[in-house]
């Protein structure tokens, strides 16, 4: 019989507490716990019981964190052992194979894959992960070994695994930042730069120094929507000029250029991002179709309005302006400002692509902001498309564990008459 990974520890909830957990959530907060029993250490897997002793499931415990327990399983009869974790990894991989191109994709998405606090991205034959929970950190060797094994069963030979566990939220778990090669295949010289192809566009991903795990895979399908929009416009005989704001690696800009846009202007404040975007454009033979501009979008948009510029498509894909509920009001002003100016730059009958990747900028709040921005810009909007993150970033229904965060819209913009 396989060795159980569950400790002797027990967590007993207060009466009438654990409502989120009972409605399908994955977290137990510190103020919901009546008492602790048995021996355990931070990061161990413990039994979670209701006030009357009813078994609620197994989860990681961490006294350092306000999220005291992160749930792993609801079933007492399901043993928590190495096979359990390998099965979770296999389930995640089967799901990805069912819904997306897996050459480069998100393999593990934390609570949405019942592996709390762990994110793993696959870039061809390289894996990059971020671990934000102490409990999962204790099980990393098992999970990473399982990933290499499960992918190997499909003929995918993983050459290296890179760790990017640098987020400040690790402090709340009592963890220090970590970065570097976690594992390399013996005898392999594994580079930190990986070539990938998405929607027909080639990119170089820097797993060591790129944003997050190296690339924003969550917008994969939405970039394809922009590519499709441009193709339809070009096919109908339109001259398509595109302004891509917060371009980062040039992803939306290059999708538009590949689709046949007449000209694309891509703006970002980061000189490093602009350099990488230019290299990606050259790799794809699109350097003559895209102008990359290093500038602050908040200053660049008003200047373009003053110059009476107009575009057939304006794309707004900013970084998260808010990472807390407290900062949401200030963030709303930023979103409203760029959307008003973006709308003013869209020609009559053109299109606005606007996004938010902040969990705290909810869909109703974002839609309210768009309505206010359209009023401020004196424009009318016709919604063409609403989308969220790519399906390899699955969304948990009726839960609040940050699995749903990306809002993506395409609007037709026309002047009020």
The CATH number for 48's domain is 2.30.130.10
* CB proximity list for 250: less than 8 A, separation 6 or greater: 244, 266, 276, 277, 278, 280, 281, 290, 292
371 located within any domain: yes
Which region among 155-164, 211-220, 377-386 has the lowest average model confidence (pLDDT)?
A: 211-220
Mean pLDDT of 226-241: 97
Query: Structure tokens of 238?
Result: 């339109």
Query: Structure tokens of 333?
Result: 């002003």
| Alpha carbon 250 to its chain's center | 17
| Alpha carbon 371 to its chain's center | 25
Q: What is the pLDDT of residue 95?
A: 98
40 with 167, same domain?
no
1 located within any domain: no
185 located within any domain: yes
350 with 381, same domain?
yes
277 with 143, same domain?
no
From the CB of residue 151, how many other CB atoms can be counted at a distance below 10 Å? Answer: 20
Q: What is the pLDDT of residue 76?
A: 85
203 located within any domain: no
pLDDT single digits (tens) 99-152: 999 999 999 999 999 999 999 999 999 999 999 999 999 999 999 999 999 999
161 with 186, same domain?
yes
pLDDT single digits (tens) 362-405: 899 999 999 999 999 999 999 999 999 999 999 988 665 567 88
Distances (CA, A) of 130 to 53, 116, 135, 162: 35, 11, 13, 9
Domain boundary among 38, 73, 108: 73
249 with 298, same domain?
yes
140 with 258, same domain?
no
68 with 104, same domain?
no
Query: How many structural domains does the chain have?
Result: 3
More confident residue, 308 or 214: 308
Mean pLDDT of 205-227: 94
H and E: helices and strands count for the chain: 10, 20
Q: What angle do CA 375, 377, 381 make, to 5 degrees?
A: 65
CB 227 within 8 A of CB 259: yes
pLDDT single digits (tens) 23-59: 888 899 999 999 999 999 999 999 999 999 999 999 9
332 with 300, same domain?
yes
Domain boundary among 29, 51, 73: 73
Mean pLDDT of the chain: 94
242 with 372, same domain?
yes
Domain span at residue 333 reads 216-415
Mean pLDDT of 267-273: 95
Q: Is 191 a residue whose pLDDT tops 80?
A: yes
Q: What CATH number does residue 222 fall under?
A: 3.40.50.150
242 located within any domain: yes
Q: What CATH number does residue 87 fall under?
A: 3.30.750.80
Q: What is the pLDDT of residue 8?
A: 94
Mean pLDDT of 259-265: 98
CB 259 within 8 A of CB 251: no
Q: What is the pLDDT of residue 188?
A: 83
333 with 311, same domain?
yes
158 located within any domain: yes
Catalytic residues: 357
Which region among 156-170, 275-289, 398-412 has the lowest average model confidence (pLDDT)?
A: 398-412
206 located within any domain: no
68 with 87, same domain?
no
Q: What is the pTM of this model?
A: 0.93
Reported as a pLDDT band with limits 50, 70 and 90, residue 1 is: low
H-run or E-run covering 253: helix 251-258
Q: What is the pLDDT of residue 317?
A: 96
Domain boundary among 73, 102, 123: 73
Q: What is the pLDDT of residue 201?
A: 98
Largest CA-CA distance found in the chain, in angstroms, rounded: 75
243 with 298, same domain?
yes
Q: What is the pLDDT of residue 399?
A: 62
Q: What is the pLDDT of residue 402?
A: 63
Distance (Å, whole) CA 393 – CA 211:
17
Q: Is 5 a residue whose pLDDT tops 90?
A: yes
| Alpha carbon 361 to its chain's center | 14
210 located within any domain: no
Mean pLDDT of 344-349: 97
């Amino acid at each position: 019989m396989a060795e159980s990974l569950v400790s002797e520890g027990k967590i007993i909830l207060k009466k009438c507490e654990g409502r989120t957990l009972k409605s399908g959530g994955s977290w137990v907060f510190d103020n919901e716990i009546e008492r602790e029993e048995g021996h355990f250490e931070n990061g161990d897997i413990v039994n979670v019981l209701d006030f009357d002793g009813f078994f609620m499931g197994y989860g990681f415990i961490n006294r350092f964190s306000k999220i005291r327990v992160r749930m792993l399983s609801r079933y007492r009869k399901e043993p928590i052992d190495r096979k359990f974790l390998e099965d979770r990894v296999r389930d995640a991989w089967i799901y990805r194979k069912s819904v997306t191109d897996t050459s480069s994709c998100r393999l593990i998405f934390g609570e949405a894959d019942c592996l709390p606090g762990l994110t793993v991205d696959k870039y061809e034959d390289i894996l990059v992960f971020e671990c934000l929970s102490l409990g999962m950190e204790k099980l990393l060797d098992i999970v990473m070994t399982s990933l290499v094994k499960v992918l190997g069963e499909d003929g995918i030979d993983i050459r290296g695994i890179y760790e990017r566990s640098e987020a400040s939220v690790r402090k709340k778990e009592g963890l220090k930042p970590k970065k570097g090669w976690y594992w390399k295949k013996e005898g392999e010289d594994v580079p930190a730069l990986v070539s990938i192809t998405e929607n027909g566009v080639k990119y170089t991903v820097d797993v060591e120094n790129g944003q997050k795990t190296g690339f924003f895979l969550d917008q994969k399908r939405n970039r394809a929507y922009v590519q499709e929009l441009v193709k339809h416009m070009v096919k109908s005989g339109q001259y398509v000029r595109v302004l891509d704001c917060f371009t980062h690696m040039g992803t939306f800009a290059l999708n538009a250029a590949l689709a046949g846009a007449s000209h694309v202007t891509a703006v970002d404040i980061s000189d490093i991002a602009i350099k990488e975007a230019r290299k990606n454009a050259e790799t794809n033979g699109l350097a003559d179709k895209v102008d990359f501009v290093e500038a602050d979008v908040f200053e660049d948009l008003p200047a373009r309005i003053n110059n009476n510029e107009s575009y057939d498509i304006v794309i707004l894909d900013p970084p998260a302006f808010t990472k807390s509920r407290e900062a949401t009001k200030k963030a709303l002003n930023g979103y409203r400002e760029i959307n008003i100016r973006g709308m003013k730059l869209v020609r009559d009958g053109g299109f606005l692509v606007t996004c938010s990747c902040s969990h705290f900028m909810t869909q109703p709040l974002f839609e309210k902001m768009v309505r206010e921005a359209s009023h401020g810009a004196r424009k009318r909007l016709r919604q063409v498309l609403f989308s969220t993150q790519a399906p390899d970033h699955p969304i948990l229904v009726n839960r609040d564990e940050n699995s749903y965060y990306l809002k993506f819209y395409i609007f037709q913009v026309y002047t009020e008459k």
